[in-house]
Structure 1
Amino acid sequence: MTSPAPKFCAAATLFVVQDVLKSVAYYRDVLGFEVAFTYGEPVFYGGVERDNVVIHFQAAHRTRRGAGQGAVNIFVTEVDALCADMQSRGAVIIEPPGDRPYGMRDFDLDDPDGNRLTFGMESTAAAHDAG
């Protein structure tokens, strides 16, 4: 009898940040995530989640990697409404929502440490052009 093939179950993006508690608060208050956990005394690791997206934070003083060098693409629905909601909560949008030549409608923002988040969905213009 053979064993079943290994299956990937989930993943968490890891961002290096200067202050984990400040990052957790920003992602909660500005980006609409829920706090999943914080760890350490003082806190040097933490995580947030929203729907099926999980992001972890590690304090820069606990790793050799520099803060603010991360990036993640998050696939969403209703990208324009999401952007408007995040802007109303204080997010600074780097690139506003737009239909891109690669078939996505997306927008970019940087968190306070400089980690880049791109939120996108399939472009209705691209879907229309394909049909």
Structure 2
Amino acid sequence: MAAPAPSLAHAAAVRATVPVLASLDLKASEAFYTARLGFSTLARHADYLIVARDGCELHFWLCTERHIAENTSCYVRGDTRALHADFTARGLTLQPPQERAWGMRELYVTDPHGNLLKFGEET
């Protein structure tokens, strides 16, 4: 007997969102995200990079316009205090996480090309 077909609602589920960030130099992005933020490289191509850590995946496309990266951010959920400790142990100089009026504790990291990563958790 064949397995029942998945329900339409289940088959149409959104499983993840993945930020796609601009990179002026994919080798420099890969070095920063792996050495300073603890990500691992999943794929590397001439014009595209994929890194991941703890189930969080980030994609990068090769860009020649710095203003694009400098006006881009993404929000990543996680334990901001533990991430701050990990990132500073890896050599980053960062402000400690701050509690925000909207009920989140947030840690901000700007990569070498200007992308802003906002790490956050509910307070």
| Length-normalised TM-score, structure 2 | 0.82
From 68, 71, 79, the counterpart of 2:70: 68
Structure 1 partner of 2:111: 111
Mean alpha-carbon deviation: is it higher for 96-105 or for 112-121? 96-105
1:48-63, aligned counterparts within 5 Å? 48-61=51-64
Percent identity among equivalent residues?
Answer: 32
1:1-131, aligned counterparts within 5 Å? 4-5=8-9, 6-39=12-45, 43-61=46-64, 66-77=68-79, 79-93=80-94, 95-123=95-123
Q: Secondary structure at the match of 1:25?
A: helix
Give, in angstroms, the shift of residue 81 of structure 1. Answer: 2.1
Please list every run of 5 or more consecutive structure 2 residues that lacks an aligned counterpart in the other structure. Answer: 1-6
Please list every run of 5 or more consecutive structure 1 residues that lacks an aligned counterpart in the other structure. Answer: 124-131
Alpha-carbon distance change, 105 to 67 in structure 1, aligned in 2, over 3 angstroms: closer
What is the letter of the counterpart of residue 73 of structure 2? A
| Length-normalised TM-score, structure 1 | 0.78
How many Å separate the matches in 2 of 1:117 and 1:101?
Answer: 19
Runs of 4+ in 1 over 2 A off after TM superposition: 65-69, 90-93
